[in-house]
């Protein structure tokens, strides 16, 4: 049997500890060809998330992968960050090497348009932060997101076996809350969207044992990711939380091992009016616009991530 070609992948995110693990997971897999990384505001300001992306590529000895800085702010609302979870740098108190290569001058939205149009129907786009860059690309070139083979979004939360909805407000997940108007544009783009909300990612718990599993891969990348999870658990403990979730790496796992998940067609919309429901995602009747991921194999996800990290330096 002839081996399949690597998946062409683009990662758009706001690194962020879980974005960092996502990026390193992709870099540790031979069946993922990372074309580029674009950054946005989110867990930390754009300057920090862009620095983190460059430093992560240096850690993985993959500075050949280009990095494009994108949206400094959301489309409409004021920026919100998450220092209580990710620290002011986005990566808590875990240190990374200082990157050498500069970020590309092209804006992330322009780079996305260029790459998607150059390879129509081929690229899978992983979106693990606020969706500002994707929405800007769609506004600049209407229909461009439909050129992606698949767009896998970590964001939102719907009431499918979920004990609670939000993690930023009682009803809103952070990425959706940080730029709900961008989320609305992407949901309405007609692209092939897979949506992983908190109702899914909370099935993949973060524990001290899971942090140790990543550290025990023996690689520098594995030790770094284990430290990220320990830092995350320390921070949420100060907020009175006893359980964490491995949010963003589920996007990479869905791409690389879809058999670890169950999905169903659904229509999801987001509330953009100001007030207590800002950023809330709701499942409604009507023509499906997403493949809603509803179940995950926690053991399988961690095995995939740990194995990928073990392949790095």
* pLDDT recorded at residue 245: 96
296: Cβ–Cβ under 8 A, 6 or more apart, which residues? 200, 201, 203, 204, 250, 253, 260, 261
φ, ψ (nearest 5 deg) of residue 69 = -80, 145
Based on the residue annotation, tell me whether 184 is a catalytic residue of this protein.
no
Cis amide bond preceding 112, omega within 30 = no
Burial tier of 66 (Cβ tally within 10 Å: 0-12, 13-18, 19+): middle
* pLDDT recorded at residue 3: 45
- What is the homologous superfamily of the domain 7-310 according to CATH? Ribonucleoside hydrolase-like (3.90.245.10)
Burial tier of 273 (Cβ tally within 10 Å: 0-12, 13-18, 19+): exposed
* pLDDT recorded at residue 159: 79
174: Cβ–Cβ under 8 A, 6 or more apart, which residues? 42, 43, 80, 82, 167, 168
Residue spans per domain, the chain: 7-310
Catalytic position from the list 107, 181, 247, 277 = 247
Mean pLDDT for each 10-residue chunk of the chain (313 residues)? 73 97 97 97 97 96 97 97 94 91 93 98 98 98 98 91 76 96 98 97 97 96 97 94 92 98 98 92 97 98 98 91
Helices (H), 132-263: 132-140, 174-178, 180-187, 198-201, 208-215, 220-238, 249-256
* pLDDT recorded at residue 4: 63
How do beta strands 7-13 and 124-127 pair? parallel
């Amino acid at each position: 049997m002839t081996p399949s070609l690597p998946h062409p992948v683009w990662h758009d995110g706001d690194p962020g500890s879980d974005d960092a693990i996502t990026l390193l997971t992709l870099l540790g897999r031979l069946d993922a060809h990372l074309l580029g990384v674009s950054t946005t505001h989110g867990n930390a300001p754009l300057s920090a998330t862009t620095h983190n992306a460059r430093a992560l590529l240096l850690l993985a000895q993959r500075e050949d992968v280009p990095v494009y800085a994108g949206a400094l702010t959301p489309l409409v609302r004021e920026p919100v960050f998450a220092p209580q979870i990710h620290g002011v740098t986005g990566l808590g108190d875990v240190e990374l090497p200082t990157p050498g290569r500069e970020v590309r001058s092209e804006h992330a939205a322009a780079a996305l348009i260029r790459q998607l149009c150059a390879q129509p129907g081929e690229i899978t786009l992983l979106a693990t932060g606020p969706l500002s860059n994707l929405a800007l690309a769609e506004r600049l070139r209407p229909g461009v997101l439909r050129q992606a083979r698949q767009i896998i979004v970590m964001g939102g939360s719907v009431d499918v076996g979920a004990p609670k909805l939000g993690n930023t407000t009682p009803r809103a997940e952070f990425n959706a809350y940080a730029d709900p108007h961008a989320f609305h544009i992407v949901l309405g783009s007609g692209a092939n969207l897979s949506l992983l909300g908190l109702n899914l990612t909370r099935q993949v718990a973060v524990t001290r044992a899971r942090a140790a599993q990543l550290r025990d891969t023996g690689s520098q990348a594995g030790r770094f990711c284990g430290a990220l999870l320990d830092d995350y658990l320390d921070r949420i403990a100060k907020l009175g939380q006893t359980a964490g979730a491995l949010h963003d790496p589920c996007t990479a796992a869905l791409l690389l091992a879809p058999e670890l998940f169950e999905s169903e067609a659904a229509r999801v919309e987001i509330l953009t009016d100001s007030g207590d429901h800002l950023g809330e995602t709701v499942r409604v009747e009507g023509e499906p616009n997403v493949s809603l991921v509803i179940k995950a194999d926690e053991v399988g996800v961690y095995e995939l991530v740990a194995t990928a990290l073990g392949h790095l330096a």
